[in-house]
Every structure is written in structure tokens, then in C-alpha cells.
Amino acid sequence: MAIRGVTHISIYVTDQDEALAWYQDKLGFEICVDNDAMLPGSRWLTICPAGNQATQLVIMLAGSEEEKTRVGTNLMTVLGTNDCIRDMAKLAQKKVEIVSPPEELPWGMSGIIRDLYGNPYNLLGPA
């Protein structure tokens, strides 16, 4: 087997433009792909941390009733940072929901936030 890594994580949303604005404004993410011709009747929208397209978040518009039940139900996603304390302070200033303020753990400095739909993200940096 030759699995090389995770390339995409799907996030169901009720409004792609609203989600895009939140991730750009609050987390500084950038658009990787924004294409409505790839899949007829759908908008393929991916975002990533600025300058790092290795792992992309797919901002999926929830269309069906089953997809709508997935909005806000993603499992914890870990986001790497060089300075957890600084970044969590900036997120607090931007009115991002802080679930758990930064704390030093055996594996590094860790804090938890939620996005506009309630999905949890763990910011993890060096101790």
C-alpha cells in the first residue's frame, strides 16, 4: 500500500459564500479551487491555510436532507500553528468561539475553537 497522506476533508455547510468568508476572515485560509464547471450543478470549493495546498477543506453545500444533518458534525480537525497562544488570542479578538483556551500538554500547546457551524478545530503548536 502507498497511501501518502490526507488531501481533502469535506465540511458540509448551508451557505458556501458565508463559510468561505468565515474561513478567510477568521482563519486566514485561501481559495485553492472555486469551480462550478467541474461538477454540473455543483460548486467545487476548496480552501487551505495560506500557502499550503497539501491538505484542503472541501466546502460542500448540503443539498439533501441527509447532507443537512451533517452540517456542524465534523470530528475534531487538528490545525498546526507556530504559536498557539498568539493565534488563539487573535481568534478571540475576531469573536471566534473558544471552547478550550491554550494549555500546555505533553504533545504541545493546544487550544480548541469552533467554526460558524459548530465544527471543532484543535490549534496545536510547540510547547
Is 82 in the same domain as 54? no
Supply the pTM of this predicted model.
Answer: 0.94
Is 82 in the same domain as 110? yes
92: domain CATH number?
Answer: 3.30.720.110
Is 82 in the same domain as 106? yes
Determine the pLDDT at residue 67.
97
User: Is residue 82 over pLDDT 90?
Assistant: yes
User: Is residue 41 over pLDDT 90?
Assistant: no
Please compute, for residue 119, the number of CA atoms within 13 A of its CA located in the half-sphere on the CB side.
Answer: 25
User: What does DSSP assign to residue 65?
Assistant: H
Is 23 in the same domain as 79? no
- On whether the CB atoms of residues 48 and 57 are closer than 8 A, the answer is yes
Indicate the number of domains in the chain.
2
Is 63 in the same domain as 81? no
User: Is residue 95 over pLDDT 90?
Assistant: yes
Is 64 in the same domain as 77? no
Is 56 in the same domain as 83? no
Give buried/exposed letters for 20-32 (b at 16+ CB in 10 A, else e). Answer: bebbeebbebeeb
CA-CA distance, 46 to 30, in Å (whole number)?
9
Across all residues in the chain, what is the average pLDDT?
Answer: 96
pLDDT tens per residue across span 4-31? 999 999 999 999 999 999 999 999 999 9
pLDDT tens per residue across span 48-77? 999 999 999 999 999 999 999 999 999 999
Q: How many helices (H) and strands (E) does the chain have?
A: 3, 8
Is 14 in the same domain as 67? yes
**pLDDT, average across residues 79-95:** 98
pLDDT tens per residue across span 115-124? 999 999 999 9
Q: What's the chain's length in residues?
A: 127
Is 60 in the same domain as 84? no
Phi, psi angle pair for 82, to nearest 5°: -85, -20
Domain that holds residue 53: 1-71
Determine the pLDDT at residue 1.
87
Domain-ending residue, one of 71, 95, 111:
71
What lies within 8 Å, CB to CB, of 80 at 6+ separation is: 124, 125
Reported as a pLDDT band with limits 50, 70 and 90, residue 110 is very high
Is 83 in the same domain as 115? yes
37: domain CATH number?
Answer: 3.10.180.10
